[in-house]
Each structure stands twice: as C-alpha cells, then as structure tokens.
C-alpha cells in the first residue's frame, strides 16, 4: 500500500520554466491538497480538491494551477516559475468527514 | 491572517519529562483539531486528533486538550523520548471539513 506518492522528489528549475508536480493516492480518498512549506511559515494551502473534476483555491494560489481529472491524481502546475516558488511541496489526501489527512514525502523545488 | 498559531518556534525538554506544545486559533468555525509530527525530509504524519465536542483525547503517551472558550489546544507528551524530537504542527478544519489549516510548527528537541 503506497499511500500518497509524489513525483518528482527533487527538481531545479530556471526562472520562467514550467513544470508539473504529480500526486497519486491509492486510498480512494475524495479530498486532495497541495501545500507548500517555507521556514517560519508552516504549511500553507495552495489549492485543494473535494472530488474528481473539482478544484478550489487555498491561501496562496497565485502562480499555480491544478487539475483533478482522475480521482487518484492531483496535479500542481507552475506555468512560469519564479524564485519565490522555491519551497518544499507536500500533497495530502483524506476521506470525507472528521478524518486525518495522509501526506506524501514532499517535493523539494528550487527555482534559480 | 494566521488562523492557527503556534507561538513557540522551538522547545527543549529533558528525556523523561513532560513536553507541552501549545496552539491557538481564531476561527470559531473550527470543530476538528489535529496534531502532526514531521521529521526532516519526510512528510508530516498524523499523531492525534480531537473533536470540538470533547475536551481531552488520549493515545498512549500523547494527550490533546481543547479549551474552546479560550480557543486553545495543547499536546502533552509524557514521558518524552529522544524519538519525539521533531517539528509538531497543529491543524484545524471547519464544519465543512474541506480545508485543513496548519500552524507554523514547533520544533521539539528532547535532550538525553
């Protein structure tokens, strides 16, 4: 049982380049989330999805887009990377109701 | 606007003693609270949770206390062990259970 898997684990981008981070979960969870973790800022919600085909903005959505075409996958896209997007990105998923979220291992992204 | 606050960035406790981590929140719509533990280079892992209808929840060495009137919760670890050294995040969700809002984290160091 893999849980939540993030691809890639590390990436270095040049300013202006684009990329997509993939999150896959095998727990049949309805809800999926993308967070970024920065020093002193905790985990901040970028975008989330409450089901296949739906997405919504979190606290810090600017510069990112997401898609949830399949229930098990949640993609995070950076169309034109900026140094301010250097961060560690975490994907998470959960069932409906008062339940805990399960996190992936993280993607460390550096934009130079 | 930080809706979930952890005012202590770090805490050091001797092995065997009690560790107390604190969390305050401002949104009265929050009704479910969680604590996560995070080791370096890993994703956060769920530790313990509490619903707003309770004021205490225990799981082994870990106890979470909720004071709704003060909008405050705390995590007690007794006795503290070296393996407890990690960053601890407090999180909260509202009645709709869609979004999970995290605090900035507290780095706990257990001194042998």
Q: What is the pLDDT of residue A1?
A: 60
CA gap B77, B63 in Å, rounded: 7
Chain A closest-CA separation from residue B76 CA (Å): 19
pLDDT computed for residue B99 by the predictor: 87
For residues B80-102, average pLDDT = 91
Yes or no, beta carbons of B101 and A101 under 8 Å apart: no
Q: How far, in Å, CA of A13 to CA of B14, rounded? A: 42
Q: What is the pLDDT of residue A98?
A: 77
> Cβ(B61)–Cβ(A14) under 8 Å?
no
- Please compute the mean of the pLDDT values over residues B29-58 and round it to a whole number: 95
The pLDDT of residue A99? 84
DSSP structure string for A84-111:
GG-EEEEEEEE-SSS---EE---EEEEE
**Tokens linked to B8:** 């202590």
More confident position, A98 or B6? B6
Q: How confident is the model at residue B42 (pLDDT cuts 50, 70, 90)?
A: very high
Chain B residues lying within 8 Å of A50, measured CB to CB: 98
- Smallest CA–CA distance from A100 into chain B, residue: B46
Residue B2 is predicted with a pLDDT of 79
What is the Cα–Cα distance from A82 to B108, expressed in whole angstroms? Answer: 32
When pLDDT is cut at 50, 70 and 90, the band that residue A24 belongs to is: very high
CA B75, CA B57: separation in Å to the nearest integer? 10
What pLDDT digit, counting tens, does each position of A58-74 carry? 999 999 999 999 999 99
Owner of token pair 């009645």: B95
E strand intervals along chain B: 4-5, 10-14, 19-25, 30-38, 45-51, 56-59, 62-67, 72-77, 86-94, 100-102, 106-111
Please answer yes or no on whether A42 and B6 come within 8 Å at the CB atom.
Answer: yes
Structure-block tokens of residue B12? 């050091």
Closest residue by Cα to residue A4 from A74, A78, A88, A108 = A74
Cβ–Cβ gap A92/B100 under 8 Å: yes
Lowest mean pLDDT among A34-43, A75-84, B26-35, B90-99: B90-99
């Amino acid at each position: 049982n893999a849980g939540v898997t993030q691809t890639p684990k590390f990436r270095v981008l040049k300013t202006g380049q684009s990329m997509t981070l993939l999150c896959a979960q095998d727990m049949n969870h309805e809800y999926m989330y993308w967070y970024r973790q920065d020093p002193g800022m905790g985990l901040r919600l970028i975008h989330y999805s409450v089901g296949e085909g739906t997405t919504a903005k979190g606290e810090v959505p600017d510069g990112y887009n997401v898609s949830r075409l399949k229930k098990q996958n949640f993609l995070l896209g950076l169309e034109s990377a900026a140094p301010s997007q250097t961060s560690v990105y975490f994907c998470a998923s959960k069932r409906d109701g008062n339940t805990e979220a399960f996190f992936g291992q993280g993607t460390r992204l550096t934009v130079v | 606007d930080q809706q979930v606050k952890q005012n202590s960035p770090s805490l050091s406790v001797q092995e065997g003693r009690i560790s107390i981590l604190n969390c305050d929140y401002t949104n009265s719509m929050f009704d479910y609270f969680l604590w996560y533990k995070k080791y370096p280079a890993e994703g956060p892992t769920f530790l313990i949770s509490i619903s707003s209808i309770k004021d205490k929840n225990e799981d082994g060495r870990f106890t979470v206390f909720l004071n709704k009137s003060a909008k405050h919760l705390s995590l007690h670890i007794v006795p503290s062990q070296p393996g407890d050294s990690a960053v601890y995040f407090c999180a909260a969700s509202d009645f709709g259970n869609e979004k999970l809002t995290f605090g900035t984290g507290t780095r706990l160091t257990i001194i042998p």
